[in-house]
Structures are given as C-alpha cells and as structure tokens.
Amino acid sequence: MEIVFLDKKTIGNVGNFNLLHKLGKVDVYETTKPEEVITRSAGKDVIITNKVKITREIMDALPQLRLICIAATGLNNIDLEYAKVKGIEVKNVVAYSTDSVAQSTFTMLLYLVNRPAYYDAYVKSGVYAQSTIFTHHGPSFWELAGKRFGIIGLGNIGRRVARIAEGFGMEVVFYSTTGRNNNINYKRFDLNTLLKTSDVASVHAPLTESTRNLITYDKIKLMRPCAIILNTGRGGIINESDLAKALNENLIAAAGIDVLTKEPIDPQNPLLKVYDKDKILITPHIAWASIESRARLVEKIAKNIEAFKREKGV
C-alpha cells in the first residue's frame, strides 16, 4: 500500500514508528501546508493526518485514496459526509491518551495548589539557608482530601480522573455535557450547581456546538473564590477572555489550561495578560503526549490500517 503521513511532527519521535513501514511504502512529512496536500497525497491509498484538513476538493483530486487515518480522536478536520459519498473510509483512534491526560490533570492541580515552583526558588535563592527555623510558611496550600472535585464530561478520561480524585480522598461529582450520562458511582449535578459547590472544576469534554463557550464569565462568577478550574479537554470550552477577566478580579483562585482556542497560542491571548502569573498555568497542549500515549497512538493507527487491509483483501 502507498501511505503518506502528512504531519508526523505532531506526534514527535516515537520508537515504534516502524509498525507503519511494515504495512507498505510510507512517505513521511513533518508538516504539510494546505496547498501541499494534494501533491503529497497523489497516488496514495492511505492518508495519515493529525491536524491537516482533508476537504472534499482534496478528495476529488485523489481518486486512489481509500482510507484516511486520523492520528487523534477528533474527526473535525475531515469532511466525513463527503468521504462517505466517495467511499473513503475514515478511522480515528480512541482511548490512547487516557492515563496521560489524567496524570497531567493532577500535575496541574498539584502545581497550583502546592506551589512547588515558589518553594523550590526559595531554597535555591539561598534565603532558606539563612532561616532561623526548619520550615518556611510562604503561600499556604490546602489538602485535596475532603474537597469536592467536579468533572465536566464523564467519558473515558473523566472517569479515570474521577478514580484518581477518589484516591486523594475527594468527593467526585459530574456534569454530563450530552445529558445522557447517568454514572451510578457519582452524583450528577447541573452545571451551575457543580460550579457553585466544587473546589475543583475540571473539563474533560469534546468541543461541540453545545460545549463551545460553555464556561463564561457568568458561570465563573458562580464559583468559590478558593476554587480552581482546569481544562485538559478542548480549547474553546472555556471563554478565554472571560477567564482572564475573572482571574484578574480574583473571582477564583487559579486556572490550569492545556488547550486553547487557537494553537499555537496567539501572542495577544488575554490569558497571557493575567496580572498575577501565579494564578494561571498554561501548557502547550501536552497533557495527551506521554511517551506511552504516543506509542499507543502509532500502534492503533497501524491496527486500523491492518484491519482495512484484511477487510478489503489487500
């Protein structure tokens, strides 16, 4: 089979990439501009893409194309209806980054709560060496045990986060963004009640028309001044201008953001202009990207292509 990977840079260096080379001839490009897609995909049976969009115009220009493999879970960069019309199969990958995102969620939370960067800098500055006592009471931190952890979107990742929160002794509640989830293990709240009563609110939902701008200034105003909000789900679910305003007005204690409306971040993003930099942690969409997660992603892409070959007798 003739295969092209249009944006390998998005998954970095992965030790098991040879799994794809075993399936056919693979052309690999680190990144691909929209105007380069057709030329690079000409004559290929399979396109692998993470973020490169495959439009109906591109499909029309590629008569040999039979399979599009998404190196991710989201399918929003593919014209799915037209792919069906053209008889082109589209396969994505699910449940490859669950543990990575869950771990990163608590990395963010503990960083914001325990303030290790401050205490590390305090010791390394030499000030601690001059102290007259064994400890230093700088920024106070609180224990997770006994606090309420509110999960917005209780899918695979949300459920994994819930179990970790329970391990810290937290009470878990959730809001179903689809309205269809009735998990019997946790209390289901409406969004306003979850925000009003949670010490931590954590977003683990896909970006849809119903979740876009789900968390606005008015919603953040419902939260406690001591509360923390996290988003390792999708950019666009929390309104970034509203969050910056809320942080500047000290409506909540802090925010941890791994996903943004525009990625890479716009230099004018209001979150970069929050007055107190200790109130916000921003990471560059890395929550999903553990070594193990990226290896699972490649493995599952390879399995998707193998399954296609078996089905079609290639």
Catalytic residue IDs: 234, 263, 285
Task: Give the residue from 164, 148, 145 showing the smallest Cα distance to 196.
Answer: 148
The residues, ordered by sequence, that sit 6+ positions from 281 with a Cβ below 8 Å of its Cβ are: 108, 111, 112, 254, 255, 256, 257
Tell me which amino acid residue 133 is. I
Give the integer Cα–Cα distance in Å for 28 and 298.
13
260 burial type by CB count under 10 A (0-12 exposed, 13-18 middle, 19+ buried): buried
Give the integer Cα–Cα distance in Å for 126 and 266.
37
> Residue 281 corresponds to which tokens in the numbers above?
């942690």
Task: Give the residue from 30, 76, 74, 72 showing the smallest Cα distance to 53.
Answer: 76
